[in-house]
Amino acid sequence: MSKKFIYINGKKSVEVEYGADEVIVDVYIDGVKHQFKEDNPNKLEYALATKRKKYSEFLNNQFENLIILTGAGSSVNIGESIIIDDVSIERKGRLLAQLWDDVAAKLSQPFLDKFCKLVRYEEMFKANEEDVNFQYVKNLEKLLSLANIAKNYVIDVPAEGEEAMDIDKIIKEIEKIIKVNCSLKLPENAPHSLFIEKITKRKVTLPRVKIFTLNYDTLFEQAGRKKNFTIIDGFSFSHPRTFSGRNFDLDIVSRNSSRVKEEDNFVQKVFHLYKPHGSVDWAKEGYDIIQKDEVENPLMIFPKDSKYESSYEQPFFEMMSRFQQNLRNENVLLICVGFSFSDKHIVTAIVEALEQNPGFQLMVVNKDIDTTSETFKPIFEASKKHNNIVLIDELFEDFANNFPDLKSYNQEDAKKIILNLNTPNNE
């Protein structure tokens, strides 16, 4: 028997208990074992429905400031096949361990093993007790961190007839593989479009929804364009699209000469987008940071230790400053989707908000609620005691589908009502 939380929010919780065959034998609601009245109930279906009802009730509250933070979990397994040289290639969002497999496939496993040995990457494990061979742990971030150090003092001395490894060149090749595999095309059934439409259904007088994504891909940009949203992403509206932090202070209003009140009419369908780790479509050209379709060497913070130092450079510093600033606002909800809590600088800002901002609330949506990692364990323990932390075991697609479709405060709807009241014969 083993128990697993699928929802936690203070004293409110949904927990399932599995039998030896991984079938749910019991469901606990708010710590109390649920007594099913019917014969052979679908306990999984009941647990999922209860979980979704609970987080829908929580999200039905009107939060003045809504911030979304997404990690790899919001892109994994999402992407449409692309055509290269008349060949269809499947390309979907990848986790870091899967990107390791992509590197091994491109460079060959023996080559990658040799590279690991050269840069002193020594994290290994046995697949099982009977296996006599060790395999490398698929930690691409640590491998690139060690390689970044080794390139300054390690020189490969190859065996006779073999070519010496150029560590710096291999690092660049790995980074190129990451870039290629993170260049995704939004499929028709992607949850991003639906999610954006739901989270932006707010009073237009409230601050705009702010999406911070740690992913390099452009799925949120594609979804926004597909649904005719205006995206304030730090880049100018003129071409070439050039980055300036001041662009985040802009908004879109309708300066209608026939308006009754002397106040700005904020238009619908606008959200902010921040990418603290960069993007596949950002390029450095001289002193300017440009956004364009085809980029050979994109401006991205690749997974390695130096990414924390890079976060103090522009445009990354602007993104992190905005993240910290927004977490300090009053009545703010941060929803983390598919974020592993492994990025120290991001986690530090979230922990500070939990400790210092009484108006801050946190919702974490991940596949499984992590109860073991040292980084996340304090948040897990706090979620059982405090009602300003919500943890949900849910995939991004399911979360987008079950996110409550809140009432839309649409100015256009208000105008229609006025027109109806003034029609002939009071029709």
Angle between helix 140-150 and 167-181 (nearest 10): 150
**Could you tell me if 202 and 106 lie in one domain?**
no
**Could you tell me if 35 and 104 lie in one domain?**
no
pLDDT in tens, 118-133: 999 988 876 666 666 7
**Could you tell me if 305 and 400 lie in one domain?**
yes
Domain membership of residue 390 (yes or no) is: no
Alpha carbon distance, N-terminus to C-terminus of the chain = 65
**Cα distances (Å, whole numbers) of residue 147 to 74, 80, 140, 176, 297:** 29, 33, 10, 15, 19
Domain membership of residue 236 (yes or no) is: yes
Domain end residue (candidates: 127, 153, 181):
181
Domain membership of residue 372 (yes or no) is: no
Token pair of 370 as six digits: 């992590």
Integer Cα distance of 245 and 243 in angstroms: 7
User: What was the pLDDT predicted at 259?
Assistant: 55
- Residues 30, 35, 41, CA angle at the centre, nearest 5°? 110
User: What was the pLDDT predicted at 307?
Assistant: 62
Write down the mean pLDDT value for the chain: 88
Tokens 């940009």 -> residue: 221
pLDDT in tens, 245-275: 999 999 888 776 555 555 568 888 999 999 9
**Could you tell me if 73 and 140 lie in one domain?**
no
pLDDT in tens, 393-410: 999 999 999 999 876 554
Mean pLDDT of 228-257: 89
**Could you tell me if 114 and 237 lie in one domain?**
no
Domain membership of residue 25 (yes or no) is: yes
Burial 276-285 (b: 16+ CB within 10 A, else e): bbbbbbbbee
Mean pLDDT of 1-9: 91
pLDDT in tens, 16-32: 999 888 888 999 999 99
- Residue 70: name the closest of 299, 343, 304, 322 by CA: 343
**Could you tell me if 318 and 248 lie in one domain?**
yes
pLDDT in tens, 62-78: 899 999 999 999 999 99
**Could you tell me if 312 and 286 lie in one domain?**
yes
Is the per-residue pLDDT at 414 higher than 50?
Answer: no
Tokens 């323990």 -> residue: 381
The single-letter code of the amino acid at 304 is K
Q: Give CA 233 to chain center in angstroms.
A: 16
Domain membership of residue 18 (yes or no) is: yes
Domain membership of residue 110 (yes or no) is: yes
User: What was the pLDDT predicted at 82?
Assistant: 81
User: What was the pLDDT predicted at 413?
Assistant: 39
Domain membership of residue 383 (yes or no) is: no
- Domain span at 331: 62-77+188-357+395-412
User: Domain total for the chain?
Assistant: 3
Mean pLDDT of 80-96: 83
- 426 falls in which pLDDT band (50, 70, 90)? very low
DSSP-derived secondary structure letter, 5: E
Domain end residue (candidates: 122, 156, 181):
181
- 359 falls in which pLDDT band (50, 70, 90)? very high
Give the CATH number of the domain where residue 209 resides.
3.40.50
Q: Is the dihedral of CA 14, 26, 21, 45 positive or negative?
A: negative
**Could you tell me if 149 and 238 lie in one domain?**
no
Mean pLDDT of 349-363: 94
Global confidence as pTM: 0.89
Domain membership of residue 246 (yes or no) is: yes
**Could you tell me if 400 and 257 lie in one domain?**
yes
Domain end residue (candidates: 139, 156, 181):
181
Integer Cα distance of 122 and 144 in angstroms: 13
Is the per-residue pLDDT at 423 higher than 50?
Answer: no
User: What was the pLDDT predicted at 415?
Assistant: 38
- 419 falls in which pLDDT band (50, 70, 90)? very low
**Could you tell me if 10 and 111 lie in one domain?**
no
User: What was the pLDDT predicted at 418?
Assistant: 33
Is the per-residue pLDDT at 289 higher than 80?
Answer: yes
pLDDT in tens, 215-226: 999 999 999 999
Token pair of 146 as six digits: 């060690």
User: What was the pLDDT predicted at 411?
Assistant: 37
| Range of weakest confidence among 162-171, 312-321, 402-411 | 402-411
Residue 331 and residue 301 in contact, taking contact as beta carbons nearer than 8 Å: no
* % of the chain at pLDDT higher than 70: 89
User: What was the pLDDT predicted at 306?
Assistant: 63
**Could you tell me if 21 and 153 lie in one domain?**
no
**Could you tell me if 133 and 193 lie in one domain?**
no
